[in-house]
Amino acid sequence: MPIINRRFALKNIATCAVSAGAAAVFLAACSPKGASFQGVDVTGADYARDLPLTDQHGQRRSLKEFAGKVVVVFFGYTQCPDVCPTSMGELAEVKRALGADGDRLQGIFVTVDPERDTPEVLKAYMASFDPSFIALHGTPEELAAVAKDFKIYYKRVEGSTPTSYTMDHSAGNYVYDPAGRLRLYHRYGSGTQALAADVRALLDEAR
């Protein structure tokens, strides 16, 4: 998956994209009903199993509680200048495009910068996109465990002052179907239309 930093174009194929792409070759045939998707089909993958983290309201969350919804998970941080707000803005646009089915889409943002992304900061950040979106944070140890399970790369890059650092990180959306199964990986830059089409397809499967 793309690595987001000042040189992210040089790392356009990182850990998860490689894993997702390889998995797609072997697992696409396992997709229910022979569905065809615009994102990378990772149906049957045995990673990215759960998000045992705390949301911006102090509630412990788990993927299983969103049964019946398509869940889209993105890893980033609130001071990311471009890729993160673009991705979350596109997800909010997808929800609006779904109309009445918008309530069946759950957006989840996982911060890779828990030091600066406090619950108050995360509340304000989510409110700027969609009030129903959830932002998750955890201890450094919890984040490391989740990142390992999701094959996410992240690294602090020091700035000119102790608080002006940036975060290199993987970028892309993990998409779960209403049964709670990881089904798709959308690389950054795939666009709103491709994500919306795949969300609709997963919702239609569950009807």
Binding residues for Cu cation, as ranges, are: 80, 84, 169
| Start-to-end Cα distance in the chain | 31
Contact 205, 176 (CB under 8 A): no
Distance of alpha carbon 107 from alpha carbon 175, whole angstroms: 10
List, as residue ranges, the binding site: 80, 84, 169
The DSSP annotation for 131-166 comes to TT-EEEE--HHHHHHHHHHHT--EEEE--SSTT--E
Distance of alpha carbon 42 from alpha carbon 49, whole angstroms: 13
Q: Which residues contact 108 (CB under 8 A, 6 or more apart)?
A: 51, 71, 72, 73, 74, 133, 134, 135, 136
Question: How far are the Cα atoms of 40, 78, 195 from residue 198, in angstroms, in the given order?
Answer: 10, 26, 5
Closest C-alpha among 47, 16, 18 to residue 171 = 16
